Structure 1
Amino acid sequence: MRAWTLDNFGLENLNLREVDVPSPAPHEVLVKVSAVSLNYRDKALVDGIYAPEKMPKGLIPGADSAGTVAAVGRDVTKVAVGDRVTSHFYSTWQDGPWLPEYADFQLGGPLDGGLAEYQLLSEDSVVPTPPDMTDVEAATLPIAGLTPWFAMREYRNLKAGDSVLIQGTGGVSIFAIQLASAMGARIIVTSSSDEKLLRARELGATDTINYRTSPDWAGAVLELTDGAGVDVVLDVVGGDGLRNSVRAAKGNGLVAVIGFLDGQTTTLDLMDVIWHQTQIQGIAVGHRRSFNDLVRFLDKHAIHPVIDSVFPFEEAPRAYEKLAQGAFGKIVIEVA
């Protein structure tokens, strides 16, 4: 089969090669991959800034994929040949609290990902693809869909009348807008683009802030909420901006730390954290049980992912370049 392999860090070292098609062992399934979506994590991994010490040379990248079961190993009972399935990123995290050892079983690094014509997965690391979604759409769910769902539903159980601040209009943020809108929440979105903020309103955002024209965006959030702040902040930027996320949160509010676009370290004013009694929660995507809950929610509310662009398999590096430039929604590589 053809597969993209990362032979060293740097996009120039992502190479298209011929490799053997793997054979499923007991409780494993071989998936004929149709589509792979990209996340900021995928770019950071290729750049060598995402747990580089854990990444083997020759890794097949691509954390999120969707396709059709082509073969099954012995004792597989949960899926059958011909089933449409979507990969589950933390392949061994089925339910319950996070355990550090789950980090060693991430798809797309350190385990091989989906940027190949076939992918070997455990029967416990796939979920059924929503019947009304294409594989291109379903490939966007494992990280970008599950991450905001896990933050808003598992850690806070966001409900109608609650408020959420969502940073930006990338893949996770767009999903967050769609999900929070279906939950009936008030949604405040920040971006540097008025055009993207207009599109965010079309998806369900109730208030928008351009952080270039309103650099004190935390102050703008407080003004919009009569000084109260929001119940949940989805922080995809990281860095020292986390301090403003704490400012923008309501007393006892949740700041969900999802991304690190502006850096992997921060300096906090601890008095702000203490006086706000802020819950700062790192979000490492989510477990498989919650992924199944998400799929049912998406189906019930007829939510479809927003796709920014689709690239052919042979042009995978161009998809990574597009990701670096920024997107509204998801970037997908169509394999077959």
Structure 2
Amino acid sequence: MRAWTLDDFGFENLHLKQVPTPVAGAHELLVKVSAVSLNYRDKALVEGIYAPEKMPKGLIPVADFAGVVAAVGEGVTAFGVGERVTSHFYSTWEDGPWLPEYADHQLGGPLGGGLTEYQVLGENAVVPTPAGLTDEQAATLPIAALTPWFAMREYGNIGAGDTVLVQGTGGVSIFAIQIAAALGARVIVTSSSDEKLTRARKLGATDTINYRTTPDWATAALELTDGAGVDLVLDVVGGEGIRDSIRAARGGGMVAVVGFLNGQSTTLDLMDVIWHQTRIQGIAVGHRRSFHDLVRFLEDHHIHPVIDTVYDFPDAHAAYDQLAAGAFGKIVIQVA
């Protein structure tokens, strides 16, 4: 089969090769991959800035994918050949609180990912693909949709009357807008592009802030909420910007740290944290039970993923370049 393998860190070391097709073992599925979607994590991993100590040489990257069961191993009862399935990022996190060992079972590194024609997954490491979605659409769900859902429902209890601030219009952010709007929340979106902000309003954003023309977006968010602040900030930027997210949050509000576009470290004014009584919550995607809940919610509310561009399998490098340049929604690579 054909697979992209990462022979060392750096995009110059990401190569399309012929490799042996894997075989499903006991309680495993052999999945014929239809499509994958890219997350910033996938780019950072290739560049060697995402847990490099965990990544084996020759890794098949990309965490999120969907496909069709091509064969089943001994003892499999949950799925049969021909059924459509979507990968679950933390393959062993089924429910309950986070445990550190789950980090060793991430798809797309350190476990093999979806940028290949076939991949083996445990029968408990997938969810049924929603009937109303194509495989290309389903491939966008495991990280980009589950992350904001987990932040809003498992930690934030967001609902009607609450206010959510979403940074940017990438994959996670677009899903956050759609989900928060469907939950009945007020949705404030920041971006450097007025055109993207206009498109965000069509997806459910109620207020928008162009942070290029209004650099102090935290003060702008406070003004929009009559000084009260927002219930939840979905922070995809990280770095020193966390301080502005804290300023934008209401007293006792939550900053959900889901990304690190501007860096993996920050300095904080602890008095801001104390006076705001801010809850800073790291979000490591979510567990499989919550993924099932998300799928039902998307179906009930007729939410469809927003896909920016679909690339062919040999054009993976171009897909990564588009991700780096910025996208409105998700970048997808068609495999089958």
Q: Fold conserved (TM > 0.5)?
A: yes
Distance in 1 between residues matched to 2:131 and 2:304, nearest whole Å: 11
Distance in 2 between residues matched to 1:114 and 1:259, nearest whole Å: 21
Q: Does 2:197 align with 1:197?
A: yes
Displacement, 1:25?
A: 0.6
Match of 2:108 in 1: 108
Quick one: which amino acid aligns to residue 296 of structure 1?
A: R
Displacement, 1:314?
A: 0.7
Quick one: which amino acid aligns to residue 221 of structure 1?
A: A
Structure 2 gap ranges (5+): none
Displacement, 1:57?
A: 0.5
Quick one: which amino acid aligns to residue 2 of structure 1?
A: R
The correspondence of residues 176-187 of structure 1 with structure 2, limited to 5 A, is 176-187=176-187
Distance in 2 between residues matched to 1:89 and 1:317, nearest whole Å: 22
The 3-state SS of whatever aligns with 1:44 is: helix
Match of 1:68 in 2: 68
The correspondence of residues 1-336 of structure 1 with structure 2, limited to 5 A, is 1-336=1-336
Distance in 1 between residues matched to 2:76 and 2:2, nearest whole Å: 26
Distance in 1 between residues matched to 2:28 and 2:17, nearest whole Å: 24
Displacement, 1:63?
A: 0.2
Quick one: which amino acid aligns to residue 270 of structure 1?
A: L
Displacement, 1:12?
A: 1.0
Taking structure 2 as the reference length, what is the TM-score of the superposition? 1.00
Displacement, 1:156?
A: 1.2
Distance in 2 between residues matched to 1:105 and 1:317, nearest whole Å: 25
Quick one: which amino acid aligns to residue 39 of structure 1?
A: N
Structure 1 gap ranges (5+): none
Distance in 1 between residues matched to 2:138 and 2:153, nearest whole Å: 20
Quick one: which amino acid aligns to residue 98 of structure 1?
A: W
Displacement, 1:157?
A: 1.3
Distance in 2 between residues matched to 1:322 and 1:214, nearest whole Å: 26
- TM-superposition CA deviations, 1:201-233 (whole Å, max 9, x none): 010000000001100000000000000000000
Quick one: which amino acid aligns to residue 100 of structure 1?
A: P
The 3-state SS of whatever aligns with 2:41 is: helix
Percent identity over the alignment is 77
The 3-state SS of whatever aligns with 1:218 is: helix
Quick one: which amino acid aligns to residue 119 of structure 1?
A: Q
Aligned length: 336
Displacement, 1:185?
A: 0.3
Distance in 1 between residues matched to 2:269 and 2:77, nearest whole Å: 52
- TM-superposition CA deviations, 1:261-309 (whole Å, max 9, x none): 1100001110110111101000000000000000000000110000000
Flag as ranges the 4+ runs of structure 1 deviating above 4 A. none
Quick one: which amino acid aligns to residue 319 of structure 1?
A: A
Quick one: which amino acid aligns to residue 64 of structure 2?
A: D
Quick one: which amino acid aligns to residue 182 of structure 1?
A: A
Distance in 2 between residues matched to 1:164 and 1:194, nearest whole Å: 19
The 3-state SS of whatever aligns with 1:142 is: coil
Quick one: which amino acid aligns to residue 290 of structure 1?
A: S
Quick one: which amino acid aligns to residue 266 of structure 1?
A: T
Quick one: which amino acid aligns to residue 153 of structure 2?
A: R
Distance in 2 between residues matched to 1:258 and 1:150, nearest whole Å: 10
Displacement, 1:120?
A: 0.3
Distance in 1 between residues matched to 2:259 and 2:315, nearest whole Å: 26
Quick one: which amino acid aligns to residue 220 of structure 2?
A: A
The 3-state SS of whatever aligns with 1:309 is: strand
